[in-house]
Structures are given as structure tokens and as C-alpha cells.
Amino acid sequence: MHDNIDARKLRGKPAIEAAHAGVTGEDEARLDSTISSLYGVESDEAADIHASYHVERIFLSLERRARENGMKLETLMQRVQHLDVSGAARQVAKGKMTEAAAVDALFRGLSTIENPQKDDRYINFYG
């Protein structure tokens, strides 16, 4: 984690990206204080900014993966409304889940919406 980021040089998304450089899962939760310092906001607002950063990144990853699997953007936009992207982003921001895991889980959700009859071998095995 980079606590020595010069807030006068970096603002907005580049500042948050710089704060995330080299961050591990357990450090993720501590970034709210860095974001609070960068933006000069209270911790609640910093947590919202941090989660919003992850919402954008998760959505971009979902969009890329959906496109690679032949799903059109308009279809993705309809189906993503049924998913809790914000909740997943908050879990990532708290360090409780990696961004990749959130994208995987959400994409599975998209796939379930698309193919409700298709069996998931992991759910059938463990469920």
C-alpha cells in the first residue's frame, strides 16, 4: 500500500489506482483511510468512493467476459440489474473477496439467468 501518495499530484481515479498498486486482500480494507486523506472526506464517504471504484472495475470485467462469450451489451445491461454488483464491490473493498472472485461469481449469476436449466456441477456436488 502506498501511504506516501502526494494528493496534490494525483486526483480521482488515478489516485485510487495508485493506492491499489501492490495491495493484497488484507490491505484492501485499509485503503479507505488513504482515500479519505486523498479526497479530504469522512470515512463513510471514502468507503463509498472505494466501493464505486470496484463497481466500475467489476462491471468492465463482466462486460469483457460477456462479450467474449457472445453476449451483447444490451443483454448484459438487462441481466446485470438482477445481480448485486454493489454488494460484491463492497466485499472487495473490505478485503473479504478478491475482485476476480467477485467477477467469477457475478458472471456465474449472469450465466444462470441466461441458462436456468443448465446444471452447475459444483452446486450439484456440494449442494
Q: Tell me, what's the pLDDT at 112?
A: 74
Shortest CA distance to 20 belongs to which of 39, 10, 34, 36? 34
Which residue type occupies 30?
R
Q: Which grid cell is 45? A: 464517504
Q: Tell me, what's the pLDDT at 49?
A: 93
- Which residues touch 8 (CB under 8 Å, ≥6 apart)? none
Tens digits of pLDDT across the chain (127 residues): 444 445 446 667 787 887 787 777 777 778 888 889 888 999 999 999 999 999 999 999 999 999 998 888 898 899 899 999 999 999 999 999 999 999 999 998 887 765 655 555 544 444 4
